Amino acid sequence: MTLIAPSILSADFAHLGQEIKKVSKAGADWIHIDVMDGHFVPNLTIGPCVVQDIRSYSALPFDVHLMITNPQDYIQAFAKAGADYITVHIEADTDIEKTLSLIKKEGKKAGLSVKPDTNISRLIPFIPFIDLILIMSVEPGFGGQSFMPTALEKIVTVKELTKRKNIFISVDGGINQLTAPACQLAGADILVAGSYIFKNASYQKAIQTLKEGK
């Protein structure tokens, strides 16, 4: 069954800990945490101190998605704060292999993400060093955007590139009851959903609908 990772970008930040507790009890598999610096993407969100503060509200894996410039400078801080997976962008102006190595050195799982306009072929040299590939199906920066169908082709391509390898394929952006089945059919292992879950009256129903793909 597909794993569901609610993105707390769409949660009520005034009650963030309780929101995380609620989606955990509602059947979420992971918690997706978007970190933005106002430079790599045009938005600001949270830092390691917030991750540390919310860590006690759920035992689920935390995938910390670093949409930031110079991610290598923050790997240790987010690792200590409680991240289980740390996902960086291949488009970040940094030594990607070295950054992935830093994540592994901290004892964490390493993820690599690609924006909608980035060619999947750029991932190929790094496949031996990663545990997760995150395909953005919207332009990173803000929640509530519409799903870009071109992401489906990328999922299929990544599935082929990573077959027989223990690498999760995750997709993030515009995930709802209509787009989830197509992503699952293409080969996605994890669906990151923000607005669809947190704007739904029943977190449990929303999560179950995404898992079932209908």
Residues 53-111 have pLDDT tens digits of: 999 999 999 999 999 999 999 999 999 999 999 999 999 978 999 999 999 999 999 99
10-57 confidence digits (pLDDT tens): 999 999 999 999 999 999 999 999 999 888 888 889 999 999 999 999
Catalytic residues: 34, 172
Structural domains for the chain = 3-212 (3.20.20.70)
Alpha-carbon span 89 to 19, nearest angstrom: 27
Run of H or E including 92:
none
Beta bridge partners of 36: 67
